Amino acid sequence: MKSLKTFVILMLAVVFVLSVTLAFAAEKQWYVLKNKNGVCSVKQLKEKSPTTIAGPFATKADAQKAKDEKCPKPEKQKTPPGGKKY
């Protein structure tokens, strides 16, 4: 009788640990998205979207680094002396 009680308690503990693990795994992750205009952003989602270009990332900082690599900002064209563009 004692071993059955111990077994039931052990199984309940295993089920609890598995459910907690799955709950953490289902948390939102960070993704880098690029819209149809070519603008990139970092969003927290449960799963990839059609506009995802990188991810998932555990932290926003990691996603931001990937965004900077995948979507570099274009350099502005310098205006020549005199302010006239050719």
Number of separate domains in the chain: 1
- Identify whether 56 is preceded by a cis peptide bond (ω within 30 of 0): yes
- Residue 52 counted as domain residue: yes
What span, in angstroms and rounded, lies between the C-alpha atoms of 73 and 76? Answer: 9
Q: Is residue 4 part of a domain?
A: no
65, part of any domain: yes
Note whether residue 33 is domain-resident. Answer: yes
List the domain range (segments joined by +) for residue 45. 27-72
- Least Cα distance to 53 among 66, 62, 72 occurs for 66
User: Which pTM was predicted?
Assistant: 0.56
pLDDT (tens, 9 = 90+) of the chain, 86 residues, equals: 678 888 888 888 888 777 766 666 667 899 999 999 889 999 998 888 889 999 899 889 999 999 999 888 766 556 666 666 65
Position 82 in a domain: no
**Residue 12 counted as domain residue:** no
Is residue 54 in some structural domain? Answer: yes
Q: Examine residue 36 and state whether it is found in any structural domain, yes or no.
A: yes
